[in-house]
């Protein structure tokens, strides 16, 4: 476990926060820094076919140890962190021999990881917990996944007596802003199925995700000095505020929904009198429901156009990803193998849904079935983010068992 912890601490100190407002790929230079580091580490481990392209996509192969033609599988994780909370100057705090109490974060004592809100901590007394100092996110989403993959790869290389087929490793960029697999060459990856390491806790196998779209609502007003504004000014901020006030909060917001409920979530707003914009994510497990949410936003805009005829109210809709459920049937071994590997690692698997998306959502839609596995991350995108070394190590153990499980198969 010291190895996986040291890896993780090294990775989270590199600022890889993605940016939705960048025109480059990857969207931030720190992602390239981590990608180059990971490619160098893959070479040091003795992996083959190591590459890191100009887009920050890293690929490498753990060579097979079986003589028959076992199928190629892939393990993926993303190097970027969420744009919602700062990823600069991350100061990870290691809490050894966790005592079961609330964790007060020293950089901002108002930030407290409470056991009552994080019941998973009750099962981790005596474990090693890693948190932020309260001023940034931690980056366990998805650097816990990266650490698990690198640790599993190192173990397989060190133990050639373990029978397994070829394993393709792939690290992607800009997953947090919906572009994680834009530059992934699936032919080069060459796998029959893949597994993203991007889930919380331990023992979970995510086989469904949200379907997701993005709505960008832009109100264009008319600015003029407020001293002579009567009958002339059209305040885009006020009109956009009216738009947001008409979103159903009791039934369609993340604050009031759970399980299979969908939602509309405004998460970023900026603007002035002349122009104001909000980004709203649309989420539901049933893809057709997204059309209903789109219609709702359009109807709100239509009403406000009538009320404010001199304003322009535009909505741009962007497809992001789709529920992986419908694409997993293409490789019927993918899910059973994940469940078997989880049991082989000493855990009782839980077949779960994820109220979010992973690179696996898009990969599955593109024809590469890709369930999502646990990594030990908790409270992602938040200064209250945390992980445990033991859960990260279990994620690595599952990967080793997964390699052995697929090594039993013939193409």
Domain ranges (residues) in the chain: 2-209+323-407, 211-320
Task: Tell whether the model's pLDDT for residue 250 goes beyond 60.
Answer: yes
Contact 170, 55 (CB under 8 A): no
DSSP output for 181-194: TTT--HHHH--SEE
Query: What rounded mean pLDDT belongs to the chain?
Result: 96
What values do phi and psi take at 284, rounded to 5? -165, 150
With tokens 């650490």, the residue in question is 147
Q: Sorting pLDDT into bands at 50, 70 and 90, what band is 356?
A: confident
Q: Which CATH number fits domain 2-209+323-407: 3.30.465.10, 3.40.1440.10, 3.50.50.60, 3.40.630.10?
A: 3.40.630.10
Q: Is the pLDDT of residue 2 over 70?
A: no
pLDDT 10s digits, 131-155: 999 999 999 999 999 999 999 999 9
As a whole number of angstroms, the distance between CA 339 and CA 188 comes to 27
Question: Which CATH number is associated with domain 211-320?
Answer: 3.30.70.360
What pLDDT score does 23 carry? 93
- Asked if pLDDT for residue 1 goes beyond 80, the answer is no
What's the rounded mean pLDDT across residues 73-79? 98
User: pLDDT (tens digit, 9 = 90+) per residue, 25-72?
Assistant: 999 999 999 999 999 999 999 999 999 999 999 999 999 999 999 999
180-185 contacts at long range (C-beta below 8 A, 24 or more positions apart): 180/78, 180/80, 180/358, 180/359, 180/362, 181/359, 181/362, 181/363, 181/366, 182/25, 183/25, 183/53, 183/55, 183/56, 183/57, 184/57, 184/363, 185/57
Helix (H) or strand (E) holding 36: helix 29-45
| Residues classed as catalytic | 80, 175
Q: According to the model, what pLDDT value does residue 357 have?
A: 79
- Would you say the CATH fold of 211-320 matches that of 2-209+323-407? no
pLDDT, residue 50, reads: 98
| pLDDT single digits (tens) 89-138 | 999 999 999 999 999 999 999 999 999 999 999 999 999 999 999 999 99
Q: Which residue has the tokens 């109210």?
A: 313
The whole model's pTM is what? 0.85
Q: To 10 degrees, the CA torsion angle through 359, 360, 365, 369?
A: 150
pLDDT score of 86 more than 80: yes
Summarised one tens digit per residue, pLDDT across range 195-204 is 999 999 999 9
Other Cβ atoms within 10 Å of 62 Cβ, number: 27
> Are 265 and 198 contacting, i.e. CB atoms less than 8 angstroms apart?
no
Dist. CA 255–CA 296, nearest whole Å: 19
For residue 189, pLDDT beyond 70: yes
């Amino acid at each position: 476990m010291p190895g996986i912890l040291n890896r993780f601490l090294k990775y989270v100190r590199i600022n890889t926060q993605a940016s939705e407002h960048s025109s480059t790929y990857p969207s931030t230079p720190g992602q390239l820094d981590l990608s180059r580091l990971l490619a160098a580490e893959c070479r040091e481990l003795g992996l083959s076919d190591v590459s890191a392209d100009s887009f920050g996509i890293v690929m490498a192969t753990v060579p097979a140890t079986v003589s028959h033609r076992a199928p190629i599988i892939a393990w993926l994780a993303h190097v970027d962190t969420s744009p919602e909370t700062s990823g600069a100057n991350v100061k990870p705090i290691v809490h050894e021999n966790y005592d079961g109490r609330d964790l007060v974060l020293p950089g901002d004592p108002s930030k407290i990881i409470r056991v009552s809100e994080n019941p998973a901590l009750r099962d981790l007394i005596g474990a090693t917990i890693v948190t932020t100092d309260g001023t940034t996110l931690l980056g366990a989403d998805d650097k816990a996944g990266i650490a698990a993959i690198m640790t599993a790869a190192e173990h397989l290389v060190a133990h050639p007596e373990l029978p397994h087929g070829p394993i393709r490793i792939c690290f992607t960029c800009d997953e947090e802003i919906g572009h994680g697999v834009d530059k992934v060459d699936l032919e080069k990856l060459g796998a029959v199925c893949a597994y993203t390491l991007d889930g919380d806790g331990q023992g979970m196998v995510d086989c469904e995700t949200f379907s997701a779209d993005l709505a960008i609502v832009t109100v264009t007003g008319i600015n003029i000095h407020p001293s002579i504004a009567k009958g002339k000014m059209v305040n885009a901020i006020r009109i956009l505020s009216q738009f947001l006030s008409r979103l159903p909060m009791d039934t369609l917001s993340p604050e009031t929904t759970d399980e299979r409920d969908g939602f509309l979530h405004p998460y970023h707003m900026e603007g002035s009198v002349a122009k104001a914009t909000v980004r709203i994510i649309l989420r539901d497990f049933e893809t057709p429901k997204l059309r209903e949410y789109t219609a709702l936003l359009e109807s709100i805009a239509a009403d406000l156009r009538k009320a404010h005829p001199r304003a322009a109210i535009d909505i741009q809709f962007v497809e992001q990803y789709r529920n992986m459920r419908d694409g997993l049937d293409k490789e019927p071994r993918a899910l059973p193998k994940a469940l078997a590997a989880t049991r082989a690692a000493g855990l009782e698997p839980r077949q779960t849904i994820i109220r979010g998306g992973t690179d696996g959502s898009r990969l599955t839609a593109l024809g590469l079935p890709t369930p999502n596995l646990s990594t030990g991350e908790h409270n992602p995108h938040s200064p209250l983010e945390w992980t445990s070394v033991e859960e990260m190590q279990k994620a690595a153990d599952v990967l080793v068992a997964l390699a052995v499980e697929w090594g039993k198969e013939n193409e």
